[in-house]
């Protein structure tokens, strides 16, 4: 059981690192998009070059390695447990969705590295909340480990989503003023 606890500790460390990367990289996507669409030369080129460098370092040095190590230590924990219970299947489905979100970030990253803007900064602000929703969902299922409690968690998740969207709209209104 002691190897399980080491795997769990390392898994948590790399989950935190991965989420830090996902939270920050989408903010950089927003700034990069705004630099490419709203700034004039030479500021546009200077900002774009700096943001390319920052996102490349964040993506290659923190976000991708942390996602890989998260998976390695997660699989190690499942191996140590020897079986997968019902709540863990739900968690694994949510984690698969998170890797889909990660892949979507990679596509945005690749496009912005080539100065191709595919989304508005407002769309990216909404997209930025995706990692938050995955974090909330996964945390609730891991802590509660119950389908009924998960239903309550999903109801709470929708409430959080509504609050986030209202917050984004208020921030956008505040930012314009």
Instruction: Kindly write down the DSSP assignment for every residue of 44-86, as one continuous string.
Output: HHHHHHHHHHHHHHIIIIIIHHHHHHHHHHHHHHHHHH-S--H
Q: Report whether 91 belongs to an annotated binding site.
A: yes
Q: Report whether 172 belongs to an annotated binding site.
A: no
Annotated binding-site ranges for heme: 11, 91
Annotated binding-site ranges: 11, 91
């Amino acid at each position: 059981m002691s190897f399980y606890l080491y795997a769990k500790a390392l898994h948590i460390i790399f989950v935190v690192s991965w989420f830090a990367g996902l939270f920050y990289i989408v903010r950089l996507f927003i700034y990069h998009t705004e630099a490419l669409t709203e700034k004039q030369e030479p500021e546009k080129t200077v900002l774009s070059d700096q943001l390319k460098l920052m996102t490349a370092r964040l993506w290659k040095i923190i976000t991708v390695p942390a996602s890989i190590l998260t998976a390695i230590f997660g699989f190690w924990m499942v191996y140590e447990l020897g079986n997968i219970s019902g709540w863990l299947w739900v968690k694994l489905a949510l984690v698969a969705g998170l890797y889909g979100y990660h892949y979507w970030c990679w596509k945005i990253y690749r496009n912005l590295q080539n100065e191709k803007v595919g989304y508005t900064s407002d769309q990216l602000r909404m997209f930025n909340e995706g990692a938050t929703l995955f974090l909330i969902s996964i945390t609730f299922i891991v802590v509660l480990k119950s389908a009924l409690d998960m239903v309550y968690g999903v109801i709470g998740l929708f409430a959080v989503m509504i609050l986030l969207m209202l917050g984004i709209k208020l921030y956008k209104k505040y930012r314009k003023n």
